[in-house]
Amino acid sequence: MCAFFLRNGSKAHHSLHHLCRRRPSIESWNIKNQLQHSKVYSRLPHSFYRKTKEFELSNPSFLAFFSGVSSSASKFGLVGWYLEKLNSRPIITKSITCGLILTAADFSSQTIAGSLLEQYDLTRTLRMAGYGALIVGPSLHFWFNFLSTCFPKRDVITTFKKIALGQTVYGPAINSVFFSMNAVAQGESSSEIVARLKRDLVPTIVSGLMYWPICDFITFKFVPVHLQPLVSNTFSYVWNVYLTYVASQQKVSMV
C-alpha cells in the first residue's frame, strides 16, 4: 500500500510540474510583458524619461486636466475647444469674441440703415472691431472678475447690487469711451466731442436702462464668472446695432 501511494504520488507530482512548465502563471506573464515594454521604451533617449518625470512631478494635475480637456473637446467639438481657450487664454479669447460680435453688430446696423445699398463703410466696421477687441473685451473680463470678488454671492440682493454698479459705473464709462473714440476717429475736435457727449450720452444711458438690467440679471444670477463676458457680449449684439447707429449720426453743429 505504501509503495502504491509513493508510486502514484511521484506521478502526480511529475504531472503537476509538467503542467506548470507548459502554462505559466499570471505573475510570470506580467513580468514578461513588462520586460517587453521596457525593451520598446528603452529605445527612446534617457533625457525624454527624465524631462517627462520632472514635468509630471511639478505638474501633478496635468494629466487629469489634459484628459478632461481632450474629453470635452471630443465630446462637444467647437464648444469644448472654446471653453478650453477661455481657461488657458481668457483675455485674448474674450477680446477676439467681442471684436467679432461688434463686427457683426456694425454690419447688421449698416444693413438695417440701408448703407449697404449705397456704400458699405468698411472703415467703420474695422473701427468697431478694434474697439471691441482692444477695449470692451478686456474691460469686461476685469469688470466681471472685480464684481465677483467684491460680491461673491449670487442671491437676488447681490445680483441687484451688481446691476446697479453696472448701470451707474461701467455703462456710462464705456459709453463715454465709445463716443469719444468714435468721434476722434472721425476727426472731430475736442469741443465737438464734448457736444456729442452732451447730445448722445444721456439718451444712450436711458435707453440702456430699458435693456441691460434684465440681461445683467440673467448674466449675474445664472452664468459662471468665466462665461459672463461671453453672455454679455451675446446680449450686446442687439445693443451695439443701436449704439453704432447712434454713433454714425452727424456731428453736432457748432454754429
Task: Tell me the Ramachandran region of residue 77: left when phi exceeds 0, alpha when psi lies from -120 to 50, beta otherwise.
Answer: left
Does the structure show a pLDDT above 50 at 55?
Answer: no
Task: Please tell me the predicted confidence (pLDDT) of residue 253.
Answer: 65
List pLDDT tens digits, range 121-156.
899 999 999 999 999 999 999 999 999 999 999 999
Residues in the chain, how many?
255
Determine what percent of the chain is predicted with pLDDT higher than 90.
53
Residues 166, 147: Cα–Cα separation, whole Å: 9
Assign 29 a pLDDT band (cuts: 50, 70, 90).
very low
pLDDT value at position 19? 44
pTM over 0.75: no
Confidence of residue 111 (pLDDT cuts 50, 70, 90): confident
Neighbours of 79 (CB within 10 A): 11
The C-alpha R_g of the chain, in whole angstroms, comes to 33
User: What pLDDT is stored for residue 255 in this prediction?
Assistant: 53
Query: Where is pLDDT greater, at 111 or 158?
Result: 158
